[in-house]
């Protein structure tokens, strides 16, 4: 008897605090922020993903309208499940709370937010989620690495590697695969940097493929670069990847379709 393969679609996108392709979100009006977020929601409705991983999404930040961007996107794109992982918390007159987040068509069973440091602005981290799919659990990590410091990126991957070693040692038996890892890595895989280092660490858990292969995900400003990736373990079959050309952010969405036995 032939087993039916279940198809899933995942998108990862750095939404740049909802500012679109402008350089500074603090100079973008709250009305324009909402317009930009509705454009993102409209694109998600068109692309119809099962899971969306966001980076640089604001929970409540003065520079972007002081409202929950994830909930706004959830409502306008009609996702039933959402989870926020705040990496940066700054209270007071100039409150800045933002980080990584998931939208999902399937139940999010549990999450864990891991923050790399204690900065009041610009802090990075990752959000881990277990998502229920056909009675099994898909583990997924939504990661954002430091933009300008290779040393800090490498240290952040060390942090993730130690966390992952402990997490997989106590992993639920319902996991259908080792974790998918996606996000804004702020470096390519073509040189000795964090993306290549992470790939080497992940081989302890599975054979992984990295997508996209060639297409730039950060076209603005120039030069064009590949900064956004999705690591797929071997249990993900018939993987198809597309970088979506759009100006909803300074990053382009990365979409993968794949099957699970």
Residues 99-157: pLDDT tens digits? 999 999 999 999 999 999 998 889 999 999 999 998 899 999 999 999 999 999 999 99
pTM of the model: 0.95
- Identify the CATH class of 6-260: alpha beta
Give the domain ranges of the chain: 6-260
Average of per-residue pLDDT across 165-171: 92
Residues 208-244: pLDDT tens digits? 999 999 999 998 656 789 999 999 999 999 999 999 9
Across 19-28, 87-96, 113-122, 226-235, the highest mean pLDDT is recorded for 226-235
Determine phi and psi for 225, rounding to 5 degrees: -140, 160
Burial 166-178 (b: 16+ CB within 10 A, else e): ebeeebeeeebbb
Residue 169, CA atoms < 13 Å, CB-side half-sphere: 6
């Amino acid at each position: 008897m032939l087993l039916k393969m279940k198809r899933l679609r995942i998108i990862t996108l750095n939404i740049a605090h909802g500012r679109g392709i402008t350089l500074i979100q603090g100079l973008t009006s709250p009305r324009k922020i909402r317009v930009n977020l509705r454009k993102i929601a409209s694109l998600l409705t068109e692309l119809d993903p099962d899971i969306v991983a966001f980076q640089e999404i604001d929970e409540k930040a003065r520079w972007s309208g002081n409202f929950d961007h994830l909930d706004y996107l959830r409502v306008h794109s009609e996702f039933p499940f959402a989870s926020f992982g705040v990496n940066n918390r700054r209270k007071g007159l100039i409150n800045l709370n933002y980080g990584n987040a998931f939208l999902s068509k399937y139940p999010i069973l549990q999450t864990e937010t891991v923050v790399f440091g204690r900065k009041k602005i610009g802090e990075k981290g990752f959000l881990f989620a277990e998502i229920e799919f056909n009675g099994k659990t898909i583990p997924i990590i939504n990661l954002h690495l430091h933009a300008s410091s290779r040393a800090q990126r490498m240290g952040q991957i060390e942090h993730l590697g130690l966390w992952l070693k402990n997490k997989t040692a106590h992993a639920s038996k319902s996991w259908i695969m080792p974790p998918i890892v996606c996000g804004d890595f702020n470096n390519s895989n073509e040189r000795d940097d964090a993306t290549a280092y992470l790939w080497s660490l992940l081989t302890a858990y599975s054979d992984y493929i990295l997508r996209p292969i060639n297409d730039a995900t950060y076209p603005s400003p120039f030069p064009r670069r590949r900064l956004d990736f999705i690591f797929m373990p071997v249990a993900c079959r018939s993987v198809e990847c597309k970088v979506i050309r759009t100006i909803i952010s300074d990053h382009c969405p990365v979409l993968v379709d794949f099957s699970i036995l």
